[in-house]
């Protein structure tokens, strides 16, 4: 029971930290969804409703995974791809002893 509550508390802390870290990249809808999930999870933790803690921990995890995948995709799309330099040059060298 205590372990589940600690895991939920840790998840809340990490998610709040990530919301702050990615604040500029999160759209308002996603940010609101995360904040609502956190609020719900905090409430069931206070009540020590273990079934609710488990359910809402999974819900918050899946919401964050979905949003982070979207953030990753946005990052990939916004970064220009670097042209590959496939040119190799053979050079001669002399070993000095």
- pLDDT-derived band at 71, boundaries 50, 70, 90: confident
Average pLDDT in the 36-63 region? Answer: 93
Any idea what the CATH number is for the domain that residue 66 is in?
Answer: 1.20.1270.10
CA atoms within 13 A of residue 75's CA, in its CB half-sphere? 10
Q: Contacts for 8-12 with beta carbons within 8 Å, 24 or more apart?
A: 8/41, 8/45, 8/53, 8/56, 8/57, 9/45, 11/41, 11/57, 11/60, 11/61, 12/38, 12/41, 12/42, 12/45, 12/60
Boundaries of domain holding 46: 2-77
Domain count, the chain: 1
Do the domain assignments include residue 86?
no
* Confidence bin at 89 (pLDDT 50/70/90): low
pTM of the model: 0.71
Please give the residue that has the higher pLDDT: either 43 or 80: 43
Lookup result for tokens 């020590």? 48
Provide the pLDDT for residue 88.
65
Residue 37 has pLDDT above 90, yes or no: yes
């Amino acid at each position: 029971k205590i372990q589940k509550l600690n895991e939920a508390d840790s998840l809340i802390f990490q998610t709040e930290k990530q919301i702050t870290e990615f604040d500029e990249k999160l759209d308002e809808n996603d940010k609101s969804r995360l904040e609502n999930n956190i609020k719900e999870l905090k409430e069931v933790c206070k009540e020590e409703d273990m079934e609710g803690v488990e359910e809402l921990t999974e819900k918050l995890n899946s919401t964050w995974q979905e949003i982070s995948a979207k953030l990753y995709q946005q990052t990939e799309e916004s970064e220009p791809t670097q042209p590959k330099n496939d040119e190799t040059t053979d050079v001669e060298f002399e070993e000095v002893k």
